[in-house]
A and B are shown apart, each in its own frame.
Chain A
């Protein structure tokens, strides 16, 4: 089955740029989405189709996807961005949804 790998944790200082990676075989051939989840809340979609932001998501959130790695970038990171982030793609051979293991973003 298809697997997505994320670093367990990433730390960033306020105002700096945070980058969270997601790796998988030929991931660049698939569309990747990213979700933000804060404690006690449901996940929120922040990036879809690799680079697009749903309405209401701040411009500081951006995404890229090439080769075997997709990246979520948060520019000018704010304290409110501290959360768990999950990448997600589809296994095209089975139409199964696949999530990465999640990355805890700490803003300190």
Chain B
């Protein structure tokens, strides 16, 4: 069974840094892209970035380029999303999702990581 398990909820202050994680299991981690998706409170899904874990090739949404960094550790089968300086507008639920092959969408999602940024 494919599973994506995300790290727990975080409460941070503006200006602080943060890294959240997404651990894949039940499949060959390096064979499938991992995506991160933001959902702000009461709002829709926003695609942020994707990474090919086999070579760490990345693809960023222009809306998030320069504000977040995606990475992956093949040996740990884990993808990461990090911020160097959080703002209140980063308060949201963040989901990781495994991308299926051949335009099969995002069939597997993590449980979400709630990030709250407040002074």
Give A residues with C-beta under 8 Å from B.
1, 31, 33, 35, 37, 42-45, 48-49, 54, 84, 86, 88, 90, 94-102
Quick check: A42 and B105 within 8 Å, CB to CB?
no
Complex Cα–Cα for A48 and B45 (A): 17
Closest residue of B by beta carbon distance from A103: B44
Known pairs A42-B95, A43-B95; A97 contacts B104 (CB<8 A): no
Quick check: A97 and B107 within 8 Å, CB to CB?
no
In order of increasing CB-CB distance, the 7 nearest A-B pairs are A33-B105, A31-B103, A102-B44, A97-B47, A48-B105, A42-B109, A99-B45
5 contacts between A and B (CB under 8 A): A33-B105, A45-B106, A49-B105, A98-B47, A99-B44
Partner of A54 from the list B50, B59, B107 (CB cut-off 8 Å) is B107
Quick check: A90 and B103 within 8 Å, CB to CB?
yes
Q: How many A-B residue pairs have CB under 8 A?
A: 60
Cβ contacts under 8 Å, A33 to chain B: 103-106
Interface residues on B, range: 20 to 34
11 extra interface residue pairs, beta carbon distance < 8 Å, beyond A42-B111, A98-B47: A33-B104, A33-B105, A35-B106, A42-B110, A48-B103, A48-B104, A86-B44, A94-B59, A97-B47, A99-B37, A102-B45
Most buried by B among A37, A94, A96: A96
Q: Mark B81-119, 1 if CB is under 8 A from A, else 0.
A: 000000000000001010010111111011110000000
